[in-house]
Amino acid sequence: SGESFFSQALLHLRNVNSLSDFVMLEEFLQYDNNKQILLLHRALFGGGLRIKLIENDEIIMRIGPSIFFEHETYDLDNTAIHKNKINNARLNLYLTSLFNLQQGISFLSIIYVQPKFDNFNDLKILFDNALNFKLGDKVDFIIKLQMRYDSLPADNIEKFDLTTKMGLAINL
């Protein structure tokens, strides 16, 4: 029928430079859209630190404080309470944990906490989890679970949602 039930895209670029054995400087750019939450466009850029907490054969943990600037455009009608276009500065704090469970199986968990710089009541939290099975040198099977919380979502959008995905990743 040509009807689209879901449309989402994400492009994320990150550059990381070591300042020491434990501290890195990172810059990032991102573009995404998500029709499920009425987000037509989101572009952001920012930077901060990446700090190594633990690194051994079983686990790698890092924390990253940063700041970013975002521009969002929503698909809302003129009666909406939420603004159609938003420009924000947000703080960003993330914790990433990679667990090597056994040969060829790993679990990656990342939580992002992103309050608006001038209003901590405007808060976004993302919790990304992925179970990764190596199928060969260049192919992985991945099961993902993502939880999203937005304290001030667009009109008629829930504050909390959950998505799951399964697929193959090709490592070039």
Beta bridge partners of 61: 54, 97
Separation between Cα atoms, residue 168 and residue 27, nearest integer Å: 28
Backbone phi, then psi, for 154, in 5-degree steps? -60, 160
CA-based angle 100:106:111, to the nearest 5? 100
**Where are any strands of DSSP class E within the chain?**
8-18, 23-34, 39-55, 59-74, 85-102, 105-116, 119-134, 139-150, 160-170
Q: Give the whole-angstrom CA distance, residue 100 versus residue 95.
A: 17
* Residue 1 clears pLDDT 60, i.e. is over it: no
Domains of the chain with CATH codes: 8-170 (2.40.160.40)
What pLDDT does 2 receive? Answer: 62
Are residues 63 and 94 in contact, defined by beta-carbon separation less than 8 angstroms? yes
68-123 per-position pLDDT tens digit: 999 999 999 888 899 999 999 999 999 999 999 999 999 999 999 999 999 999 99
Q: Are 130 and 143 in contact (CB under 8 A)?
A: yes
Quick one: pLDDT at residue 36? 86
Interval 119-151: pLDDT, tens: 999 999 999 999 999 999 999 999 999 999 999
Percentage of residues in the chain with pLDDT exceeding 70?
97
Average pLDDT, the chain: 93
